[in-house]
Amino acid sequence: MAQFDFGGTMEEVVTRAEFPLERARAVLKEEVVAVQGPGQALNMRDNGIRVIVGQRRGGNSWERAVADGFVPGESLFSPEEAAARATVVQYLLSDAGQVALWPKIKPCLSPGKTLYFSHGFAVVYKEQTGIVPPAGIDVVLVAPKGSGRTVRTNFLDGSGINASFAVFQDATGRAREKTLALGIAIGSGYLFPTTFEREVVSDLTGERGILMGALAGVMEAQYALLRRHGHSPSEAFNETVEELTQSLIRLVGEKGMDWMFANCSTTAQRGALDWAPRFRDAVAPVFAELYERVRSGAESRRVLEANSAPDYRERLNRELAAMHDSEMWRAGAAVRSLRPENRK
């Protein structure tokens, strides 16, 4: 591991310099990796790892795997058959999906195998999920900090995506080495250590907070405010979303928030510096409540109860349709259609 200074706090990270792909291939040369997620499966296959895919026969994901070049009966099987054939089982279904399939997967986990997660949910909230890995196997985690789609697109453009890693159970004495090898094989930009519990608490907080929930909420609030005061849908959307996604967030990603502030107008700088503390203080209690609900298991219980309801998909589609059909996101579709790259 390399020591790196994160704002005055030293942390250990693993980069491709410390753990090159050639080493990952050597560590995994005798392994057969069963995967459900297409992004990780394709990245590992491209990196020379022996990969088989487990999907429900005849479903959309099965057909997609066939289109991606996986062959039924050779490299494409049902989830339980893939798990039985593999030495590393990457259990990448949704959290509710993992609960439902666990009775079929658990018998396939013979001693010496590796059970791999990209989320600590199932193991940490075992009282709710019923997922308790058997003794005699390695239980590990590599959690990319992005969606499965981003795992693949970042791999293809050469940038990779950062990921955390953890070992929950080391039965073979090789769990950590295999975890790092798998993290490099899926295309991680760098890997940083965590635990299953820290990963799931930070992940659920982030999704409900700044990454998705808070972002969607504050966008809606600002857009609605501008519209109430007579601003057009185009103006409200551009000032709320388009400028953020197409300009400012790129500056943040390039060199940080301070650099973005330094490269905006003096009027924008002054206003942002004055108002940022007020927004921080206003949302701090909401984040505190959110973190406690995640830590206590209330949020995981909510997820499992909602996802197991017989009408869940129907209700989810209604909620997403309401967002899609809102004026803000209809305005967004119009704005995106006017981008030069979409008018060729």
Tell me the catalytic residues. Answer: 119
Measured CA to CA, the distance from residue 132 to residue 134 in angstroms comes to: 6
Cross-strand pairs, 117 = 141
Helix (H, G, I), strand (E, B) or coil at 33: strand
| Vertex 20: Cα angle to 16 and 24 (nearest 5) | 120
128 contacts 104 by C-beta, under 8 angstroms: no
62 contacts 76 by C-beta, under 8 angstroms: yes
- Identify the residue whose tokens are 């279904």: 93
Measured CA to CA, the distance from residue 233 to residue 226 in angstroms comes to: 9
Which residue type occupies 286?
Answer: V
113 contacts 147 by C-beta, under 8 angstroms: no
337 contacts 234 by C-beta, under 8 angstroms: no
Question: Which tokens is 32 given?
Answer: 């057969």
Cross-strand pairs, 212 = none
